[in-house]
């Protein structure tokens, strides 16, 4: 592996790890741009998926108290999400993943762009168990089709006036579980060959350090600032996804 490849792997690990530590989601889109310079697409996805799971475990520990309090809410997202992954894989044979990416990108840009420049944040306060389950199912389906497990949960959770720990206690475990399933499926398909494992071992220390930095920032921001970060993240992810889909 060349020194240039190692450099881009480290840059991707730092970018993805920091975002995972800060927000608990959106890791892949920030890291893949760097990793794809050094690795083939399958290896890059395999590395960033496993990286997201490992660094995500640190984020789970950060919000462990909120996790214990809101187990029922979390299950409303995770259980339908798990059911949605195989559905997404089946739909992938009939629906264009690039077309789905374009639709999701436009949705993220419109939502993130609209609320990023408003003085007041959206507030959707009442309990919505059916909508929670629908968002979880949709996230699972989109993960199976295009690896976009966190797109709709980010939008939905940023609409809720929950404390930042409660928001993260949904986004982080949802992504860890869905991406763990994805990593397992990639392993079963032989994606973790010697090159991929080497790249992952190079990336791991940098991603863990960057995740710690992201967690430090997470601890210092207020609940309202964290919600604004998620809304801004929606806009940035939408733009990145739009470029990817059109490219």
Picking from 210, 226, 217, the residue whose alpha carbon sits closest to that of residue 166 is: 226
Phi, psi torsion values for 187, nearest 5 degrees: -60, -40
Phi, psi torsion values for 192, nearest 5 degrees: -90, 70
Buried b (16+ CB within 10 A) or exposed e, 91-102: beeeeebeebbb
Question: How much of the chain exceeds pLDDT 90, in percent?
Answer: 25
| CA separation for the pair 15, 29 (Å, rounded) | 10
- Tell me the CA distances in angstroms from 247 to 102, 239, 242, one per residue in order: 11, 12, 8
Q: What is the mean pLDDT of the chain?
A: 86
The answer to whether the CB of 200 falls within 8 A of the CB of 52 is: no
DSSP assignment string, 71-116:
HHHHHHHHHHHHHHHHHHHHHTTTS-HHHHHHHHHHHHHHHHHHHH
Average of per-residue pLDDT across 22-28: 82
Q: Where are the domains of the chain?
A: 3-246
pLDDT at 6: 92
Picking from 155, 163, 206, the residue whose alpha carbon sits closest to that of residue 35 is: 206
CB atoms within 10 A of CB 13: 29
Q: For 150-201, write each residue's pLDDT tens digit.
A: 888 988 988 888 889 888 999 999 989 988 888 888 888 888 999 999 999 9
97 confidence band (pLDDT: 50, 70, 90)? low
| CA separation for the pair 146, 92 (Å, rounded) | 8
Q: For 34-85, write each residue's pLDDT tens digit.
A: 888 888 888 888 898 888 889 988 888 888 888 888 888 899 999 999 999 8
User: What pTM does this model have?
Assistant: 0.83
Residue 105 has pLDDT above 90, yes or no: no
């Amino acid at each position: 592996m060349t020194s240039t490849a190692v450099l881009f792997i480290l840059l991707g690990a730092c970018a993805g790890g920091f975002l995972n530590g800060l927000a608990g989601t959106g890791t892949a889109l920030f890291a893949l741009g760097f990793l794809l310079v050094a690795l083939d697409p399958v290896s890059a996805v395999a590395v960033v998926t496993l990286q997201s799971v490992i660094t995500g475990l640190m984020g789970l520990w950060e919000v462990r108290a909120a996790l214990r309090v809101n187990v029922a809410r979390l299950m409303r997202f995770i259980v339908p999400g798990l059911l949605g992954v195989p559905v997404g894989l089946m739909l992938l044979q009939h629906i264009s993943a690039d077309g789905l990416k374009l639709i999701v990108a436009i949705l993220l840009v419109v939502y993130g762009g609209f609320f990023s420049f408003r003085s007041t944040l959206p507030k959707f306060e009442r309990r919505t168990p059916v909508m929670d389950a629908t968002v979880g199912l949709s996230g699972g389906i989109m993960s199976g089709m295009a690896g976009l497990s966190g797109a709709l949960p980010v939008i939905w959770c940023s609409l809720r006036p929950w404390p930042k720990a409660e928001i993260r206690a949904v986004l982080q475990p949802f992504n860890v579980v869905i991406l763990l399933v994805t990593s397992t499926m990639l392993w079963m398909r032989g994606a973790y060959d010697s090159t991929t494992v080497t790249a992952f071992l190079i990336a791991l220390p940098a991603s863990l350090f960057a995740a710690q930095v992201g967690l430090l920032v997470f601890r210092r921001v207020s609940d309202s600032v964290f919600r604004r970060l998620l809304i801004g993240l929606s806009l940035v992810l939408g733009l990145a996804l739009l470029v990817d889909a059109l490219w």
